Amino acid sequence: MEWGMKNRLAQLIPSDGHCLFLPIDHGYFQGPTRKLEKPGETIKPLLPYCDALFVTRGVLRSAIDPANTKPIILRVSGGTSMVGKDLSNEGLITSMEEAIRLNVSAVGMSIFIGSDHEKENLLNLAKLVDEGEKYGIPVMAVTAVGKELEKRDARYLALCCRIAAELGARIVKTYWCENFDRVVNGCPVPVVMAGGPKVDTDLEVLQFVHDGMEKGAIGVNLGRNIWQNDHPVAMIKALRAIIHEKATVKEANEIFEQEKGMGPKASSFILR
Ligand code: 5RP
């Protein structure tokens, strides 16, 4: 692997090999998602606790301070909306030259396996990988399920992740599911977990992230279950403890409960 590619991956994934990516790209098809109406304000208290941001160029340029941020994974696919005909009908919306100009550490795009647009999605992924490899920029493939949340099962997600890796993605983002080890074991590149729509209880988030880490994920690319939480700083700190400090669910929940009352003050346990 070339130095530039290695260096960018090291910017995203700290030396313990684990990572907490914070996605705030949802507006590219959802519009002003709840609690992400003003992305710059949403992330301000969360930035110290994430390892990278997943964001479109529009939000990057308008809401992220270039002098004070974290490594950027640039979302480069889009062209659809949640009120349009088909979420899978995405194309590439940002060039590699723009990614370089924005000094990003990686680019990311969605693939909708099994959709009417599977072929275009996968050919776009291959094209993006070719471009990325030319300049040493890793590609994160987002295995998307669109509105069909029932597709979150190990057999399907293992298929999606493996295909993304075979086409050259350096990191694959997928959803946690039962028997998650089946997904990770079939994927030769690092896997990070997304959360999807906010789950019912805070404990559930800690439980599925802990389970996924135990089963081989390197971390998360987790958005709504952090910034839509009533206590987003407490939640990101608790998740950080699982990801970077090997905290158990019980320990993480204690951190969450303790931090709920503390606001954005730093905890030494987490910021070692
Ligand atoms: C949607 C995405 C998000 O980056 C991904 O789904 C993670 O966010 P969440 O945890 O909220 O599902 O690709 O645009």
Mean pLDDT of 137-146: 93
Widest CA span of the chain, in angstroms? 49
90 lines ligand 1 (CB under 6 A): no
The class (CATH top level) of 3-228 is: alpha beta
Confidence (pLDDT) at 272: 35
| Residues known to be catalytic | 173
Mean pLDDT of 45-67: 97
Mean pLDDT of 55-65: 97
232 lines ligand 1 (CB under 6 A): no
Mean pLDDT of 213-225: 98
Q: Quick check: 129 and 167 in contact, CB under 8 A?
A: yes
**Ligand 1 pocket mutation pick from 142, 149, 160, 220 by most atoms within 8 angstroms of CB:** 142
CA–centroid distance, residue 160 to ligand 1 (Å): 16
Mean pLDDT of 181-187: 98
Considering only residues 198 and 26, tell me which one the structure prediction assigns the higher pLDDT: 26
b/e sequence 42-67, b meaning 16+ C-beta within 10 Å: bbeebeebbbbbbbbbbbbeebbeee
pLDDT > 90? residue 267? no
Beta strands in 67-160 (DSSP E): 72-75, 77-78, 91-92, 106-111, 139-143
Q: What percent of the chain has pLDDT over 70?
A: 96
pLDDT > 70? residue 263? no
Q: Which protein residue's CA is at the shortest distance from atom 2 of ligand 1?
A: 26
Could you give the angle at the alpha carbon of 152 between the alpha carbons of 150 and 157, nearest 5°? 140
In this prediction the pTM is: 0.94
For residue 228, give the nearest of 42, 49, 72, 58 by alpha carbon. 42
Q: How far apart are the C-alpha atoms of 25 and 15, rounded to whole Å?
A: 26
